[in-house]
Amino acid sequence: MNTIYILNGPNLNLLGKRQPEIYGSETLDDVETLCRSVCADGFDVKLMQSNNEGQLVDWIHDARHEACGIVINPGAYTHTSIAILDALHTFEGPVMEVHISQVHKREAFRHHSYVSMRADGVIAGLGLEGYAAGVRRICQLV
C-alpha cells in the first residue's frame, strides 16, 4: 500500500478554466504530474475528481484498503459535508487537506471546514504547490 490518493471535489474538473484569477490556469492533469514528480521513491499517486459527495465517500472507503494516505481538496464540500468528515474518520492513514486559494481571505462561509476536524495538515493559498506539500508530508509520515 504505497499509493497516495489525491481526491478532488466539485468543480475542480474545471481547474484551469474556472475563475482563473482565483485558481490559476493550470489543470488537474498538471496537479497529477506535479504530485507524481514530488512523491518519494516507492510511492505512487492516484488522482480522482468527482462532483458527487457520495462518490468521494466511496473513494475514501476504497482508500482504507488501497492507499497509505489521502490528499484531499473537497471543494465546496469542505464547508458542508459531515459525510466526508465521517468517511475520513474511517481512514487510518494521514490526511492532508488542500485548498488552492487562501480560503480565510475569502467569504466567511469558506472559513469553516468540517474536513479540518480530521486532517493532519491543512494547506491553503499555495496554489498547486499545496498538493505537492501534502504529498511530501504523507511520504514523510508513512
110 binds ligand DQA (CB under 6 A): yes
Identity of the amino acid at 132 = A
Could you say whether residue 69 binds ligand DQA (CB under 6 A)?
Answer: no
126 is an interface residue for ligand DQA by CB under 6 A: no
CA atoms within 13 A on the CB side of 31: 32
Distance, CA of 85 to chain centre: 13
- Active-site residue 61, yes or no? no
Cβ closer to ligand DQA: 68 or 72? 72
Q: Give the separation between CA 113 and CA 111, rounded to whole angstroms.
A: 7
Q: Is 73 in the site for ligand DQA (CB under 6 A)?
A: yes
Which listed residue (14, 48, 76, 126) binds ligand DQA by CB under 6 A?
A: 76
The answer to whether 5 is a known catalytic residue is: no
Continuous H helices in the chain: 20-23, 28-38, 53-66, 82-89, 129-141
Under the binding rule (CB under 6 A), the answer on residue 135 touching ligand DQA is no
Interface residues toward ligand DQA, by CB under 6 A: 11, 73, 75-76, 78, 99-101, 103, 110
